[in-house]
């Protein structure tokens, strides 16, 4: 392709690009978009920490004391705050140790790429997050076995297949490793991985387990300790990946695991070695967020109160809200054009909830994904739901 042809193609692609709404306020219960105040009904700020006064104060103090950025963790960038954050995350998650990276995406890349080689075996849920898919690709592993979403019978079939493959030694003379990877909460439907069954199958077939708890962190389990706590499986999942960008409202990702494994991640992870550390402000914000969660479960309790209230309202009105077991509440509409129109009308009526369409979900499974947060009052939820009802009647959905 010539350079001209390339730029012609790029110009065509650029025409198709969707422009996001531009937010001109903080990410609280309401947002200001183009000067218009709208209910924030679809963000992953589960706990309302994006506007938390204590966290804002902690960031101000830390920046005043320590400045802005640090550097590469292995060179001159490991700050006291990074170490404190890792310690507090390990304690919070009831794990031996933790490593912090600049995102959940980075954490998934680290977790898989560091321990999995070409001749190992990865077994992955069909609906795992894109960052897991990329992590598996990056590892170069040849044997990728995909099991049907949440289907533990199919998982066992794949484990049997893996066991046969694993009888052949790798070129280094060792037997291949088998790693099972799953999302904890699946972000489009809000359904949960059957972790107890996955762990017991992993034990039966001598496989390692990894769970990506991005939407479970700060949401599930005692005081938001995540899916492993929710199922009381402490110490039984080898690798837990978390994000600090959803319930924590900051940015960053982390892995908790056994002490030695974390040491090896810090020694070998390319995302850790060749990419800069989390800034002082992010690190201080995350540290304060963990502190708040360790002191009280009030935010998590409020999130779940709101979740139950919201789901009950939608159900009563006759909306199809899927099978979610988390605050994620898909309002199933099916048709892509209808979902887009529905969302546009909601916006007109003061509610911000974006449509979710192909390729994020299947073509006939378009929806609007509503997520309540601890920053909503019952009145906010009443308002949001009543606007959904209004639009649904106008568009003849109900």
Cβ closer to ligand PLP: 248 or 347? 248
Cβ closer to ligand PLP: 119 or 282? 282
Q: Which of 125, 183, 191, 240 binds ligand PLP (CB under 6 A)?
A: 183
Active-site entry in 45, 82, 215, 299: 215
The one segment of 98-106, 118-126, 230-238, 311-319 that binds ligand PLP by CB under 6 A: 98-106
The structure tokens 């709208």 sit at: 38
The closest of 170, 173, 180, 124 to 148, measured between CA atoms, is 124
Round to whole Å and give the CA distance between 259 and 115. Answer: 15
Does the footprint of ligand PLP cover residue 272 (CB under 6 A)? no
Site map 108..147 versus ligand PLP, x via CB under 6 A? x--------------------x-x----------------
Q: How far is the CB of 160 from ligand PLP (least distance, A)?
A: 27
CB 123 within 8 A of CB 178: yes
Cβ closer to ligand PLP: 110 or 245? 245
CB 198 within 8 A of CB 228: no
Q: How far is the CB of 8 from ligand PLP (least distance, A)?
A: 33
Cβ closer to ligand PLP: 215 or 369? 215
Give me the phi and psi of 143, to 5 degrees please: -90, 90
Beta bridge partners of 40: 352
List binders of ligand PLP among 186-205 (CB under 6 A): 187
Does the footprint of ligand PLP cover residue 324 (CB under 6 A)? no
Q: Is 215 a catalytic residue?
A: yes
Q: How far is the CB of 132 from ligand PLP (least distance, A)?
A: 7
Question: Looking at beta carbons, which residue is closest to ligand PLP?
Answer: 104
Q: Which of 114, 209, 243, 306 binds ligand PLP (CB under 6 A)?
A: 243
The closest of 301, 288, 289, 291 to 223, measured between CA atoms, is 301
Site map 361..390 versus ligand PLP, x via CB under 6 A? ------------------------------
The structure tokens 């009105």 sit at: 317
Round to whole Å and give the CA distance between 179 and 111. Answer: 11
The closest of 144, 119, 142, 143 to 133, measured between CA atoms, is 144
Site map 55..94 versus ligand PLP, x via CB under 6 A? ----------------------------------------
The one segment of 51-59, 68-76, 101-109, 150-158 that binds ligand PLP by CB under 6 A: 101-109
Active-site entry in 124, 187, 245, 324: 187
User: Residues with Cβ < 8 Å from 186, sequence gap 6 or more?
Assistant: 127, 149, 192, 193, 215
* Cα–Cα separations (whole angstroms), residue 191 to 18, 76, 134, 215: 28, 42, 22, 10
The one segment of 60-68, 100-108, 260-268, 339-347 that binds ligand PLP by CB under 6 A: 100-108
- How many other β-carbons are positioned within 10 Å of the β-carbon of residue 162? 23
Does the footprint of ligand PLP cover residue 245 (CB under 6 A)? yes
Active-site entry in 79, 93, 230, 246: 246
Round to whole Å and give the CA distance between 351 and 346. Answer: 5
Burial of 112 (0-12, 13-18, 19+ CB in 10 A): buried
The one segment of 1-9, 97-105, 278-286, 360-368 that binds ligand PLP by CB under 6 A: 97-105
Burial of 344 (0-12, 13-18, 19+ CB in 10 A): exposed
List binders of ligand PLP among 203-232 (CB under 6 A): 212, 214-215
* Cα–Cα separations (whole angstroms), residue 299 to 263, 350, 376, 384: 33, 25, 11, 20
The structure tokens 């198709």 sit at: 16
Cβ closer to ligand PLP: 89 or 397? 89
Q: Is 263 a catalytic residue?
A: no
Name the site residues for ligand PLP (rule: CB under 6 A).
103-105, 108, 129, 131, 183, 187, 212, 214-215, 243, 245, 253
Active site residues: 187, 215, 246
């Amino acid at each position: 392709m010539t350079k001209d042809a390339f730029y012609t193609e790029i110009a065509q692609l650029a025409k198709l690009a969707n422009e996001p709404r531009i937010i001109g306020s903080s990410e609280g219960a309401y947002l200001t978009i183009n000067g218009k105040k709208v209910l924030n009904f679809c963000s992953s700020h589960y706990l309302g920490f994006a506007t938390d006064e204590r966290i804002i104060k902690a960031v101000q103090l830390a920046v005043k004391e320590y400045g802005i950025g640090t550097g590469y963790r292995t060179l001159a960038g490991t700050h006291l705050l990074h170490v404190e954050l890792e310690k507090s995350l390990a304690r919070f998650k009831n794990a031996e140790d933790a490593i912090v990276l600049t995102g959940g995406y980075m954490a998934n890349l680290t977790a898989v790429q560091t321990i999995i080689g070409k001749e190992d075996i990865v077994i992955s849920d069909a609906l795992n997050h894109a960052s897991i898919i990329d992590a598996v690709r990056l590892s170069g592993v040849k044997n990728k076995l995909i099991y049907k979403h949440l289907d533990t019978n199919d998982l066992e079939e794949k484990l049997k297949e893996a066991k046969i493959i694993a009888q052949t030694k790798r070129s280094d003379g060792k037997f291949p490793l088998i790693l099972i990877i799953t999302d904890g909460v699946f972000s489009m439907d809000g359904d949960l991985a059957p972790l107890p069954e996955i762990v017991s199958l992993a034990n039966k077939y001598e496989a390692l387990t990894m769970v990506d708890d991005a939407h479970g962190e700060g949401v599930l389990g005692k005081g938001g300790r995540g899916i492993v706590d929710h199922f009381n499986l402490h110490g039984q999942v080898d690798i837990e990946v978390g994000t600090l960008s959803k319930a924590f409202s900051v940015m960053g990702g982390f892995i908790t695991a056994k002490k030695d494994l974390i040491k090896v991640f810090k020694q070998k992870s390319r995302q850790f070695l060749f990419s800069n550390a989390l800034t002082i402000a992010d690190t201080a914000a995350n540290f304060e967020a963990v502190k708040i969660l360790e002191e009280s479960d009030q935010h998590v309790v409020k999130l779940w109160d709101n979740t139950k209230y919201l789901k009950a309202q939608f159900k009563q009105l006759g909306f199809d809200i899927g099978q979610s077991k988390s605050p994620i509440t898909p309002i199933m509409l099916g048709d892509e054009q209808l979902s887009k129109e529905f969302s546009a009308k909601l916006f007109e009526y003061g509610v911000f909830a974006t449509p979710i369409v192909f390729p994020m979900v299947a073509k006939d499974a378009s929806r609007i994904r509503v997520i309540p947060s601890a920053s909503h009052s019952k009145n906010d939820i009443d308002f949001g739901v009543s606007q959904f009802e209004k639009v649904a009647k106008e568009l003849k959905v109900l």
